[in-house]
Amino acid sequence: MSDRTSDEVRSGGKLLPSLGILLVTGGLVLLGWFAYIWFNPGPAPYQYQHVETGSSTELTDVELDAWPDLTLSRYNVDVAGVDKPIGQVTLAKRGDEPPVLVHWKNYTNDLLIAIDQKPSELSELAKAIAKYAPEDSLILSWWDTSRQLKLLSQRDTMFTNHMVEPLIIPDAWQPKKDAIYAYEEEFWQSASNDKERKQFQKFTEALLATPDEGIAKLRELIGSDREAYLVVHVTDLFKLGLMHPDKFGIAYKSFPLTGNMHGLINHVKVHKTQNGFVSYTLQSLSEKKIRGYFLADESSVETLMAKTLPFTDQTAPVEMEIASLIYQHGGYWVYKIPAATVSKDATKG
Within 8 A by CB and 6+ apart from 300, the residues are 248, 249, 250, 278, 306
Q: Residue 3: is its pLDDT beyond 70?
A: no
Task: Supply the pLDDT for residue 140.
Answer: 98
The whole-number pLDDT of residue 109 equals: 85
User: pLDDT for 160-197, tens place per residue?
Assistant: 999 999 999 999 999 999 999 999 999 999 888 999 99
Across the strands, what pairs with 77?
Answer: 48, 87
Residue 261 pLDDT: 80
Above 70 in pLDDT, residue 31? no
What is the pLDDT, as a whole number, of residue 345? 53
Closest among 160, 151, 142, 154 to 331, alpha carbons compared: 142
Q: How many C-beta neighbours within 10 Å does residue 259 have?
A: 8
Residue 262 has pLDDT above 50, yes or no: yes
Q: What is the pLDDT of residues 196-219, one digit of tens each?
A: 999 999 999 999 999 999 999 999
In angstroms, the Cα distances linking 215 to 145, 187, 220, 223, 231 are 19, 34, 9, 12, 13
Residue 330 burial (CB count, 10 A): 16
Cis link prior to 338 (omega < 30° from 0)? no
Q: Residues of the chain with pLDDT > 70: what percent?
A: 86
> pLDDT (tens digit, 9 = 90+) per residue, 44-87?
999 999 999 999 999 999 999 999 999 999 999 999 999 999 99
Burial 178-202 (b: 16+ CB within 10 A, else e): ebbbbbbbebbebebeeebeebbee
